[in-house]
Amino acid sequence: MGRIKLEEIDTRAPGALQKEQVKLETAGIISELNELQNLLYAESKHSVLVVLQGMDASGKDGLIRKVFGNLNPQGVMVHSFKVPTAEELGHDFLWRIHKNAPAKGMIQLFNRSHYEDILVTRVHNLCDKETAYKRMRAINDFEWLLAEHNNTTILKFYLHISEKEQSLRLNERLDDKTKQWKYNESDFAEAKLWPEYRKVYEDCFEECNKIPWTIVPADQNWYKEYIVAKKLKDALSALKMRYPGLKKA
Amino acid sequence: MGRIKLEEIDTRAPGALQKEQVKLETAGIISELNELQNLLYAESKHSVLVVLQGMDASGKDGLIRKVFGNLNPQGVMVHSFKVPTAEELGHDFLWRIHKNAPAKGMIQLFNRSHYEDILVTRVHNLCDKETAYKRMRAINDFEWLLAEHNNTTILKFYLHISEKEQSLRLNERLDDKTKQWKYNESDFAEAKLWPEYRKVYEDCFEECNKIPWTIVPADQNWYKEYIVAKKLKDALSALKMRYPGLKKA
């Protein structure tokens, strides 16, 4: 596979798709997810890590609410990674990530992730290219550790929105009282760095592909939710899980 | 370097060494360590991980007391890894290890370690050979992560005692009231598995040598303490640390 070029990938659903029909299908998938997650928890042999990355306003929070909001919260954990604390900075960049890796039986969502350490940091020159490439190798090894030694299925999603859609959404944050809390002064400045972000994301898709990425067209929420829910359902179904039955005395 | 064969390595100090003179030298080294550790803590750029492995009664506890007991406890942490808890078993075998990795400025001692997951488990057939080799690759990657991404100097010591010395010490545990608490019913049964332990240790020295091991002749405490203290001093000295001076406003 050649290098992923984000500019060549559509941010919208294929034209032939009917929004209402897809939404119905997504609802069906989500109720199946409920059953599969219960099984995952009961069997406790596998774990699932869902990594969500994307530009500001690409709809990570909404996705979490819509696709994961109806699952049993006992088996689903969400961790939002912010700027590292002083304690976290005292350790290697994967230390805080590993602490939050899913136990068997659990689905763990990362709202942003270890990938920020090679994305935002690179764009703002807090991490040189050599360090970034060393980190990407470490990320491959680390994800492999989880997959190989804790039966962790890792699903990595890049929510792919267009600059135009992002601009619309950022302006909405300014106007809508229920969304103003999400607005950061830096949002518009960050949005200007789009070409730089595109480049470092593309490097990351290329280097950290031992466990592959899914690029999710994300301008329309209904399509984004469908793709992620479907991918999760397929991954869980592939585990061929079974209820363990009565424990032996 | 060929495969390390433990049977070919002496468990005692070279004959020419004078015990009293070595003890004096060790005392000097330990006072230098005090200064170096203070510098490590003040500079907070590097971290040190000391891994102690060895058969029962090889003298890990005594070593910790003698060599590390006089350092500033604020900058030294010891973690003894026991049989994994239910929570720890829910994760990959390195999860609990990574949580306890040293922050910058710190010396972390592991009394037993991630290596037990390829030693005691292998000897007792809780881990097949294929899994053991996968784990050893994961250990190499993990130690490299700490070294490369948190400036961690990793010193791995195998305390090498003879079967005869072990037997003497285990019997002492039965007789000495101050040592009986250390006795486990399984100690003598484990001691019978010596050839099996020797084999899995040798595999581990061969596979997990991206960061090298030091085999420490450990029948005599004074010599064991000298070797470990010296190695630690040399490693800290090589870091070329400096006091950072006044923080900028």
Look at A99 and B99 and tell me if their CB atoms are within 8 Å: yes
What is residue A249's predicted lDDT score, i.e. its pLDDT?
64
Least Cα separation, residue B55 to chain A (angstroms)? 26
A121 touches chain B (CB under 8 A): no
Please identify among residues 196-225 of chain A the ones whose CB lies closer than 8 Å to any CB of chain B. none
Hey, of B91, B95, B153, which one would you mutate to test binding to chain A, going by the most A CBs within 10 A of its CB?
B91
B105 touches chain A (CB under 8 A): yes
Q: Measure CB to CB from residue B145 to each of A90, A141, A149 and give the nearest one.
A: A141
Average pLDDT over residues A54-75: 95
Q: Measure CB to CB from residue A101 to each of B87, B95, B138 and give the nearest one.
A: B95
Look at B87 and A99 and tell me if their CB atoms are within 8 Å: no
pLDDT tens-digit profile of B185-210?
888 888 899 999 999 999 999 999 99
Inside any domain, residue A5:
no
pLDDT tens-digit profile of A147-184?
999 999 999 999 999 999 999 999 998 888 888 888 88
CATH code, domain carrying B181: 3.40.50.300
Q: What is the 3-state secondary structure (H, E, C) of B170-200?
A: HHHHHHCCCCHHHCCCCHHHHHCCHHHHHHH
Q: Write out the residue range of the structural domain in which residue A197 sits.
A: 20-237
Residues of A within 8 A of B152 (CB-CB) are 92
Inside any domain, residue A168:
yes
Least Cα separation, residue A105 to chain B (angstroms)? 8
HSE-up of A70 (CA within 13 Å, CB side)? 14
Hey, of A85, A91, A121, which one would you mutate to test binding to chain B, going by the most B CBs within 10 A of its CB?
A91
What is residue B249's predicted lDDT score, i.e. its pLDDT?
65
Please identify among residues 156-185 of chain B the ones whose CB lies closer than 8 Å to any CB of chain A. none
- Average pLDDT score over chain A: 95
The answer to whether residue A17 scores a pLDDT higher than 90 is no
Residues with Cβ within 8 Å of residue B47, at least 6 apart in sequence: B101, B102, B103, B104, B105, B106, B107, B108, B146, B150, B151, B152, B153
Least Cα separation, residue B86 to chain A (angstroms)? 10
HSE-up of B198 (CA within 13 Å, CB side)? 15
Look at B142 and A145 and tell me if their CB atoms are within 8 Å: yes
- Minimum Cα–Cα distance from A91: chain B residue: B103
A134 touches chain B (CB under 8 A): yes
Average pLDDT over residues A32-43: 97
CA-closest candidate to residue B133, choices B144, B125, B122: B122
Look at B150 and A101 and tell me if their CB atoms are within 8 Å: no
Q: Which ipTM value was assigned to this complex?
A: 0.90
B98 touches chain A (CB under 8 A): yes
Q: Which of A94-98, A102-106, B181-185 has the lowest mean pLDDT?
A: B181-185
Pairing between strand B76-80 and A152-160?
A: unpaired
Which amino acid is located at B79 in the chain?
Answer: H
- Minimum Cα–Cα distance from A150: chain B residue: B92
Tokens of B74: 């604020």
Sign of CA pseudo-dihedral B102, B107, B108, B112: positive
Residues of B within 8 A of A94 (CB-CB) are 98, 145, 149
Neighbours of A231 (CB within 10 A): 16
Inside any domain, residue B243:
no
Count how many domains chain A has: 1
Tell me how far apart the alpha carbons of residues A190 and B125 are, in angstroms, rounded to a whole number: 54
What is residue B212's predicted lDDT score, i.e. its pLDDT?
96
Tokens of A184: 């950061």
The answer to whether residue A1 scores a pLDDT higher than 80 is no
- Minimum Cα–Cα distance from B144: chain A residue: A138
What is residue B1's predicted lDDT score, i.e. its pLDDT?
62
Residue ranges, chain B, pLDDT below 50? none
